[in-house]
A = this chain, B = another copy of it.
Amino acid sequence: MSWPDYLKQHQAAHLEDFRAFLAIPSISAQPARQADVRRAAEWLAGRFRQAGFTAEVCPTAGHPVVLAEYCPYPDRPTVLFYGHYDVQPADNPERWNSPPFEPTVVDGRIVARGASDMKGQVMAFLLAAEALIATGSLHLNVKALIEGEEEISSPSLPAFIEQHRERLRCDMIINGDSGQLSETTPLLSLGARGICGLEFDLIGPSHDLHSGSWGGQVQNPLHAMAELIASLHNPDGSVAVEGFYDDVEPLSPELREWYKRIPWNEAEMKQKLGVPEFYGEAGYSPWERITGRPTLEVNGMWGGYMGPGGMTVIPSTAHAKITCRLVPYQDPDKIVALIRSHLEARLPKGVRLEVRVKESGAPAFRMRADHPVAQVAREVLTELYGVPPVETMFGGSVPILSTLKQQLGHDPVSFGFGLEDELIHSPNEFFRLSSFEKGKQGYARLLMRLAS
């Protein structure tokens, strides 16, 4: 039997498998669900075994990792698939049209928490591998690393990977926690920005003061805050923190050419975001600004009286939260230290500074457009959708990509089938059955091509 026939013949049974997986409420964020999370791991390891893998539920400091292996070919390459089996909480059950853990098919969509993010793609990959194994068509080694803590920022994963580096050794990496641009347009992402963050307080008088009685003689923490925040950027839109760009590689001419090919419809984008005009670092195109250049953004800033009417107060404190998006070679810890130094050096008179660093920093990830696995992914997507993928990078951060690259030495290629409208992290999350089928087809073709 050919693998496509195998998939076709088992279509109904595969949907039942998917349902069974979705029915387990593997909510990593809720301690009460710990046993369910473990149950999902056990179920998944069992299903991998059924497909022909060896599989193990491996303990970590937190929720377990499922490690599955099909490695019969000592002389052939090995591909590692990354995914996660945990899901977001599903509170507010009244906002769900059907219970979040009773998967329901409506109009070609399967509605359940975790359907799109990302049990659908874990199942699609597993079933594709199974079809190839069952039909004697899998000609390379496959490992699957499926974690249970992605929705809580993967606290245990970096240590786990480091500890099991030998066992996870591979020649190429596929990240399944990803998606396509639309039902008809595929997407190939070649990078994601890193992230680091801090928050700080400016502390002036020990209590709020009457601005009539003391205005003019006491530093207003809000004035000091505005001065400090304003000092973080230059008039040309670039970041003014000394050393911020020191480790940033200039965009290569090839990369800038590549950027020019990403579509950008200024009028449409303005409308979508509802901005009167765009603004950013001088000398760079929109996509270069969003994904190729680092940024510093204030995510929150506050102090004083914020209610209706007025209150003539000089507040005791002012507060700000900042995150930066990083590009390759910028180190999250170093950037945070530079910002702290900048704030300390420019601290206005009359206020004290207290800085708190966020711990979840991550460096950027970027791969070459001509990377051989990216090239294979590009070909498979073109075959599958009939059009070549839109190529881009993410402006946001996908810390797993740099973790995998750092620990295992290969650029992970993102190859998944979620779509933007599938209500992930919201009530009524769903996954298209057509995406489920496309996923199985896509992963099978990818594994076939990677073997050759």
Residues of A within 8 A of B (CB): 193, 195, 197, 199, 204-207, 209-220, 222-223, 225-233, 273-281, 286, 289-290, 293, 295, 297-306, 310-316, 318-319, 321, 323, 325, 348-352, 358, 394-397
Nearest residue, chain B, Cβ from A278:
B217
Q: Which chain B positions have C-beta within 8 A of A310?
A: 197, 199, 299, 321, 323, 358
Q: Which chain B positions have C-beta within 8 A of A199?
A: 310
**Min CB–CB distance A192 → chain B (angstroms):** 8
**Cβ contact within 8 Å between A222 and B290:** no
Partner of A217, one of B215, B216, B289: B289
Q: Which chain B positions have C-beta within 8 A of A206?
A: 273-275
A sample of 29 cross-chain residue pairs with beta-carbon separation below 8 angstroms, ordered by A number, consists of: A205-B274, A212-B325, A212-B394, A213-B290, A213-B394, A215-B297, A216-B280, A216-B293, A216-B295, A217-B286, A217-B290, A219-B275, A220-B297, A220-B298, A222-B298, A226-B301, A227-B233, A230-B231, A274-B316, A279-B349, A279-B350, A299-B304, A299-B305, A300-B304, A301-B304, A302-B304, A305-B321, A310-B321, A311-B321
Complex Cα gap A302–B319 (Å): 9
**Cβ contact within 8 Å between B318 and A301:** yes
Complex Cα gap A305–B197 (Å): 14
**Cβ contact within 8 Å between B305 and A303:** no
Q: Which chain B positions have C-beta within 8 A of A305?
A: 299-300, 321
Report if A207-B280 is in contact (Cβ < 8 Å); known contacts: A222-B298, A230-B226, A297-B220.
Answer: no
Complex Cα gap A323–B305 (Å): 12
Give 3 closest A-B pairs by Cβ, nearest first. A206-B274, A212-B396, A226-B229
Report if A205-B273 is in contact (Cβ < 8 Å); known contacts: A217-B290, A223-B298, A314-B297.
Answer: yes
Q: Which chain B positions have C-beta within 8 A of A275?
A: 204-206, 218-219, 350
Nearest residue, chain B, Cβ from A320:
B222
Complex Cα gap A217–B259 (Å): 15
Report if A281-B216 is in contact (Cβ < 8 Å); known contacts: A227-B230, A276-B352, A302-B302.
Answer: yes
Partner of A226, one of B277, B298, B352: B298
Q: Which chain B positions have C-beta within 8 A of A204?
A: 275
Partner of A230, one of B215, B230, B312, B352: B230
Complex Cα gap A226–B293 (Å): 22
Nearest residue, chain B, Cβ from A204:
B275
**Min CB–CB distance A295 → chain B (angstroms):** 4
Q: Which chain B positions have C-beta within 8 A of A352?
A: 276
**Cβ contact within 8 Å between B318 and A323:** no
**Cβ contact within 8 Å between A273 and B218:** yes
Q: Which chain B positions have C-beta within 8 A of A319?
A: 306
**Cβ contact within 8 Å between A216 and B299:** no
Partner of A396, one of B213, B274, B286: B213
**Cβ contact within 8 Å between A298 and B290:** no
Report if A301-B301 is in contact (Cβ < 8 Å); known contacts: A275-B204, A281-B216, A295-B215.
Answer: yes
Report if A289-B223 is in contact (Cβ < 8 Å); known contacts: A274-B207, A302-B306.
Answer: no
Q: Which chain B positions have C-beta within 8 A of A304?
A: 298-302, 321
**Cβ contact within 8 Å between B274 and A323:** no
Q: Which chain B positions have C-beta within 8 A of A273?
A: 205-206, 209, 214, 218
Interface centre among A229, A277, A289 (most CB of B within 10 A): A229
Q: Which chain B positions have C-beta within 8 A of A289?
A: 216-217
Complex Cα gap A7–B411 (Å): 96
Partner of A301, one of B222, B323, B394: B222
Q: Which chain B positions have C-beta within 8 A of A277?
A: 219, 349-350
